[in-house]
Amino acid sequence: MAGVPLDLVVSVMSAAERRDTREATIQELERIGLKPIISLNAPTPENADILDEEAERLRARGYQVLTNGNPDKGYGGKNNILGARAPVRLALEQGKHLFYCEDDIQTSDLLPWALEEAASIPDAVTWMYAHDGRGDKMLGARYGLHVWRKLKRCLEWGDEFPRGLYRIRDHRNINSGQAILFPIDALRRLPVEELDVSASAFDMWTQDRVNKVGLSLLVALPHPVQHTHDRTGRSMSRNPNKSSQSFGMSWR
């Protein structure tokens, strides 16, 4: 599809048991011309038991599959960052931008434009999605009050919002690793050797390290990605508001 950077590694990090969730996300990405590699993770013994079977099933369909995970560590944290390590290194080896995704997302037709724009900014990392259900005070601090107020007015009245990559002002608690674009130049500046030892989730590691090495944090608005918040294999979330308010809204 026109507008999608050709020098792009697209990865989907997914636990082996989340087949239906993963298949829906693969379809969403392929709908806009993106064929992902699959970072297949085994965070529990049950996932480890089916890891090879799921990997072979995907490879038989022509997907590149990277297997990883520690079945003793469970979901999140250490296993989340293990699932990111191989795609990061693959992008660095190939000298390509990285579009890192988790396995429970929807995409809009705005995504190809947003990826192209984000890939053209070498000193910034761009979130294609961020949790919006956390209250006006936090989101006003994150996006800037003028941006958040305009977004809220457009949502209320059905007006078009000016699409763009906006600076994330408050770097704390973004905690939204569903879809992040790393230009290759930005990726090369990150201390990726830390991925071998960090126990943080990849999104939390990223928001911290991006800031420390002097890169900018941007967010695409309206969000071109939505979080479906599928909990297959996991307990119900303590925060049910992990979704985008701007996904699917009118834009210009």
Average pLDDT over residues 157-180: 88
> Above 90 in pLDDT, residue 113?
yes
- Strands 216-221, 65-68: pairing is unpaired
Q: Please name the amino acid found at residue 164.
A: G
**Is position 162 within any domain?**
yes
Characterize 40-49 residue by residue with b for buried, 16 or more Cβ atoms within 10 angstroms of its Cβ, and e for exposed: bbbbbeebbe
Reference 172, options 122, 223, 198, 134; nearest CA is 134
Characterize 114-151 residue by residue with b for buried, 16 or more Cβ atoms within 10 angstroms of its Cβ, and e for exposed: bbebbbebeebbbbbbbbbeeeeebbbbbbbeebbebb
**Is position 90 within any domain?**
yes
> Above 50 in pLDDT, residue 189?
yes
Which domain range does residue 220 map to? 8-227
Average pLDDT over residues 134-161: 83
Q: What is the tens place of the pLDDT at every residue in 45-98?
A: 998 999 999 999 999 999 999 999 888 888 877 778 888 999 999 999 999 999
**Is position 237 within any domain?**
no
> Above 90 in pLDDT, residue 141?
no
* 127 SS3 class: strand
> Above 50 in pLDDT, residue 1?
no
**What is the rounded CA–CA span in Å between residue 172 and residue 175?**
8
Average pLDDT over residues 121-148: 84
CATH code: domain of residue 197: 3.90.550.10
> Above 80 in pLDDT, residue 5?
no
Q: What is the tens place of the pLDDT at every residue in 193-244?
A: 998 888 888 988 998 999 899 999 999 999 999 998 776 666 556 555 678 8
**Is position 33 within any domain?**
yes
**What does pTM read for this prediction?**
0.93
Q: Please tell me the total count of domains within the chain.
A: 1
**Is position 239 within any domain?**
no
Quickly state the pLDDT bin for 34 (edges 50, 70, 90).
Answer: very high
**Is position 234 within any domain?**
no
* 231 SS3 class: coil
